[in-house]
Each structure stands twice: as C-alpha cells, then as structure tokens.
Amino acid sequence: MSRIKDMYLYYSLLILAALKFTIFNIYTDNQGSLIFLTIVSLLYFAFVLYKLIKKPLLIFSLYSLFSFIMFCDLINYKYFNTYTSINSFGNINQLGVIKDTIIDLISYGDFVLLIDLPIVFWVLHEIKPLDFSFTKKIYKQGINIVSGIMFLGIVINPFNLDSVSTIQNREIISYRAYDIYSYFIKNESKADYSEQLKELEESFNLEQGEYFGLGEKRNLIVIQVESLQNFVVNKEYEGKEITPNINKLINKDSFYFSNYYQQLGLGNTSDAEFITNNSIYPTTEGQAYSLFQNNEYYGLPWQLKEAGYETFAMHGHDKEFWNRANAYPAQGFDNFYDDTSYTIKEYIGYGLGDIEFFEQSVPIFKEIKKPFYAFMITLSSHNPYTVPEKYHTLPLNEKDKDTYFGDYLNSVSYTDRAIGVFIETLKANNLYENSIIAIYGDHFGLGVKDKRIIDQVENFIGKDYYFDEMLKIPLIIHIPGSGVTKSIDLPGGQVDFMPTIMNLMGQTNKNPYVFGKDLLNSTEGFVISQTYLVKGSFIKDNILFEMSRDGIFRNSKALDLNRRKEIDVYKFKEESEYAANQINLANYILENDLIRR
C-alpha cells in the first residue's frame, strides 16, 4: 500500500511539472508547439527524478532554481520577447535603477510558476525513494547513454533538423543548454565573412547627394527622447495636441521621417545611442557599450571631431549606468555631462526632469567652442511613466485615467513641453539659427504583449497595434531658416541616421563599415530587426516579415501592412537571409574590432 502511495505522489510531481511547463509555454506564445515542447520538458524532468531519486532535497533545490529562472524568463519575455541568456547577466547591475519598470511588468498570474513549490516540497518530504535496484545495470547504462546522445543532439543539432531547432529556441531547458553551449563553445566569429566585408566596402558611397551641406558649419544638437513612439506625433487626444512643440518643428524647416524604426540589440537605450552614432548594428549577445568598450570606432562623433567640432554627451543620470562613462571616450565624445553637472531641484522618474535638463544645458552650450556636436538623452518619459500630476497637460477621460497608456501620453507630453522650452532658450541665447536640431525616439514605450495596452492604443490609432507600430519612432531633423519642409515615408531605421545627417552637414563619410544609407537620397527602404522581432526579420515598403521565433522559416509570418493581411512568406526568403547575414556581419566586425583597421 505504501508503494502505491509513493507512486501516486511521484505521478503528482510529474503532473505539477507538466502544468508548469504548459502554462509557461502558453504565456510565452508557444501555443503552436505546446504539446511537443511540454512533453520534451517533462521528459527532462522525469529523467532528473529517475537519476536523483534518493536525493529529494537536491531535486527540490533544482526544481526551485529552475522555477525562478522560468519566472525571470517570463518577465524578460514580456519586454524583450525573448528568454534571458547568459549575456543578460552583464546588465544585472542595471536592475536596481529600473526596479519600478520590472515591478510593473509582473502580474499576479505570473506567480503561478512559483506557487507549486510548497506542494513539491511536501511531496518530496512525504515519499520514500522508489527502489530501482531491480533494474539491470545494462538497462541503466543504456538509459544514460541514449539520454546523453539525445541531449547532445538537441544542443548541437548536427543535422539541422527543424524539430530540433524548435526545441533549441523555444523549449526552456534545451534553450538554457544551447545558450551555455553557444556562450562557451560555439564561436561564430570564426566563420568566413571576407566576401560580405568586400561587398560592404564596395558599397561604400562617397558621392554627395541632394541637400548636401544644407546645414554646413552649424552646431549639431541631437536629442534622443526616451520612449517616444511615432503614433503620438501630430495627433490629438480629446481635442488637444499631445506633442505641439514637436509638431511645430515638423511643419517648418524640417525633414520628418514618418516610417523610422528602432533597431536595438539587448542594450536598450544605450544601443539606440550606439547604432545612431556608428551606423552599425549592436549585438544581442549583451550590451555593446560594455562588450566592446575597448574597440575603436569611427562614427559620427569622431568624424565631426576631425572636422573641428567639439563633441560631448549630456544626460541627467548616473554616468555609470549602461557603462556610459567608459564607453563614451571610445565613441568619440570629448566630454560627458552627467547628473553631477546639473543641479537637481526635483527628481522626475529616474533623475533630472527634462525641463531642468534642457534649461541647464544651454549655459554649457554658450561656453563650448563652436561648432559643437551635443548628444542629449532625455529621461522623464521613461517607463513606468511617473511624471507628477502637476505636470500633466492632457485631461484624460475616465477610461484612460490611472492606466499605463494615459500615464504614457502625459509623460510624452511633458517631454514635448520641455523641448519647447529648450527651443525658446536656444533662441534667447542666439544658438538656434546656427544649429541643426535632430529629434528621435530611442525605443517603444508601449509593448504589444499587454492586452489592456493593445486595446487602448488600437482605440486611439484606429487600427491594429502590432510590431510595425510598436517599433516605429519619429525622426525629425530641423534646420532653422533652410526653407525646406519635407515628409519622407521611405522606411528607415536608426542605422540610417549617421549617413543622412552627415550629408546634410556637408561631411563626407570616411568609414567603409557603415550599414545605413542616406534616407534623403535613397529610393528603397529596408529596415532590419533583431530584437522584439528576431534576427531574419525586416520591414520594407509595406511589408513586415517576422521570422519565426522557433528558427523555422516556414513558420514565419509576412504581413501586408496596408491590408493587414498575411501573405506568402516564401517570397521573402532571400531577403530574410540577407537581413540575418547583415546582423552576423556587424557582430563579426565588432567582435574582431575591425574598425580599428
């Protein structure tokens, strides 16, 4: 009778584990392979039970550890649409600063991945280890050998089987093993990229395009706005403009790029800075500012410095965050004005409020030798969007009050107000007319994984809210007195900023390792994505190609953005491979410090 009870208790462990794996796969959008992935995870767990049958405390410790890892993976997936990796731990020192953002991502339903731990502990305490001594030694060895071969086959996938790729990319235990294998053993930098490098170098364009030198010899002020998405620009909420000051800039003496997209790796805001200034894709292996801080670069700050510009970065936050203090000198910035350079009268969100940030930056401009390149990073519109109510400028209706969406609109509106103050302060100090002012968003503010957010955004924009809208950020290049006002709907991304702005400034790029194009002199747009949309994804014309997260091409998705309908994916296989190869090539250049050449 006791043995039957123990068997039932062991079965209950398997059932609990199966439920946990099933829930995790549902939460992380694995419904298409739900049963398959759950069975694989359960087989792993059953094998651990079999091997550690006489060590219940060790079983519980491993089960608890992995439950916590799954919980972290789920939270990470909500924001980045991917699981955590070994390289993610390189950003662990950032967690304390963004704790409010992390807390905001967690919902009560997520704790279902942890609530079974007391039950599992009780079961393991109650049962007596089952006796498998009757099993012949040859059978035990056979199980070990077969299991080992299968596990290695899954991790290495020597025959490139689609089913194994699905397990590697989506099954939680195999993903962890594959991630460790890739980190310590697999080295893609040994691949031969000589042909691709040659093509990149041959595509290097020294020609002067239209609008060349339109802003020549002017100061360059680039403002990277926290979480600014395009759907709020030129829009009204309850009859009131959300971004009246940005709209005013767009409508006179400006180029407005309405189909401009973020192209980050895993460095988030810092990656937006990195790709904008260097026109090279960051990595999903970690944070570029840390992984490649000792590389040499030849991007926008360096080339402007050679042309006689003073170059500096400004941000009202801790200089150690995202490793900026160490990374900026290699990027080509002469100085970095962090929070210690400002008087913080009032904290808004994570640091210095945007209005004070801009007002206190202008006196610094006055003391700087001209011309200068100022790279400015705002902070107040950072999630979870906690701008004090006294600064709210939008009267929210009842359904949007005390919601993420409503708070987002008011935080963006506050930053827009700060930009208006900045423009007027520049004018008052005779710094406006002789400057180019470029404004863009670093990344999205409202994700597509929270149904409450999706419903509110869709109600506001009047159409589906999907990755194309989520990843779209505005780019405005304002040249006072230029007499040129133009809206460009050609798809482009942050990698295209450097070639575009250098043409306007009358500077000829001297770095052959740039991946972007001058959007003012291009006829085709092609935007590559590797985060949120995984590597192999892209946007061109009115097409969004979303590479499948399981790595299997036929499971990918191609969306006609005009009709919002899916179309045949096989038309885009070659372009998907090209997109992935461009990311690989950029990683190769960074990993081998080729720009130093």
List pLDDT tens digits, range 558-574: 999 999 999 999 999 99
Given a cut of 90, is residue 123 above it in pLDDT? no
List pLDDT tens digits, range 538-548: 999 999 999 99
Assign 3-class secondary structure to 207-270: CCCCCCCCCCCCEEEEEEECCCCHHHCCCEECCEECCHHHHHHHCCCEEEEEEEECCCCCCCHH
What is the end-to-end Cα distance of the chain in Å, rounded? 75
Asked, for residue 392, whether it belongs to a domain, the answer is yes
Average pLDDT over residues 458-477: 97
Query: 113-117, 153-157, 411-415: which range is least confident on average?
Result: 153-157
pLDDT at 56: 86
List pLDDT tens digits, range 309-331: 999 999 999 999 899 999 999 99
Average pLDDT over residues 268-276: 97
Asked, for residue 192, whether it belongs to a domain, the answer is no
Number of H helices, E strands in the chain: 20, 18
Average pLDDT over residues 37-54: 87
Distance CA 555, CA 546 (A): 9
Which positions ≥6 away from 184 have C-beta within 8 Å? none
Clarify whether residues 364 and 473 are in a common domain: yes
User: Domain end: 134, 162, 184, which one?
Assistant: 184
Distance CA 170, CA 325 (A): 36
Given a cut of 50, is residue 511 above it in pLDDT? yes
DSSP letters along 340-404, please?
Answer: GGS--SSEETTEE-HHHHHHHHHHHHHHSPSSEEEEEE--TT-TT----GGG--S---GGGTTSH
Is 67:59 a contact under the CB 8 Å cutoff?
A: no
User: Domain end: 184, 212, 236, which one?
Assistant: 184
Is 515:278 a contact under the CB 8 Å cutoff?
A: no
Clarify whether residues 331 and 231 are in a common domain: yes
Q: CATH number for the domain including 495?
A: 3.40.720.10
Total structural domains within the chain: 2
pLDDT at 208: 83
Clarify whether residues 209 and 300 are in a common domain: yes
Clarify whether residues 8 and 75 are in a common domain: yes
Average pLDDT over residues 7-18: 86
Phi, psi for residue 293 in degrees, rounded to 5: -70, -25
Average pLDDT over residues 380-394: 93
Q: For 162-177, b where at least 16 C-beta lie within 10 A, e where not — what string? A: eebbbbbbbbbbbbbb
3-state secondary structure of 53: coil
Clarify whether residues 244 and 121 are in a common domain: no
Clarify whether residues 111 and 230 are in a common domain: no
Clarify whether residues 265 and 143 are in a common domain: no
pLDDT at 186: 57
Given a cut of 80, is residue 139 above it in pLDDT? no
Q: How would residue 349 be classed by pLDDT, with cut points 50, 70 and 90?
A: confident
Clarify whether residues 179 and 207 are in a common domain: no
Is 6:128 a contact under the CB 8 Å cutoff?
A: yes
Given a cut of 90, is residue 399 above it in pLDDT? yes
Given a cut of 70, is residue 478 above it in pLDDT? yes
Asked, for residue 276, whether it belongs to a domain, the answer is yes
Clarify whether residues 356 and 474 are in a common domain: yes
Asked, for residue 356, whether it belongs to a domain, the answer is yes
The pTM score is: 0.91
Asked, for residue 64, whether it belongs to a domain, the answer is yes
User: Domain end: 162, 184, 206, which one?
Assistant: 184
pLDDT at 192: 83
pLDDT at 365: 98
pLDDT at 451: 82
Q: Tokens in use for 171?
A: 């099954």
Distance CA 208, CA 226 (A): 32
How far CA 388 is from CA of 103, 228, 380, 407, in Å, comes to: 19, 18, 10, 10
Given a cut of 60, is residue 189 above it in pLDDT? no
Clarify whether residues 298 and 427 are in a common domain: yes
Of all residues in the chain, the percent with pLDDT exceeding 90 is 71
Asked, for residue 112, whether it belongs to a domain, the answer is yes
Asked, for residue 189, whether it belongs to a domain, the answer is no
Asked, for residue 190, whether it belongs to a domain, the answer is no
Clarify whether residues 90 and 29 are in a common domain: yes
Q: Tokens in use for 186?
A: 């697999």
List pLDDT tens digits, range 439-466: 999 999 999 988 889 999 999 999 999 9
Distance CA 525, CA 541 (A): 7
Q: How would residue 1 be classed by pLDDT, with cut points 50, 70 and 90?
A: very low
Query: 31-45, 151-165, 326-340, 347-361: which range is least confident on average?
Result: 151-165
Query: 165-179, 301-315, 467-481, 509-523: which range is least confident on average?
Result: 165-179
Q: How would residue 143 be classed by pLDDT, with cut points 50, 70 and 90?
A: low
Clarify whether residues 488 and 539 are in a common domain: yes
Query: 148-157, 322-331, 390-399: which range is least confident on average?
Result: 148-157
Distance CA 55, CA 140 (A): 18
Q: Which domain holds residue 151?
A: 2-184
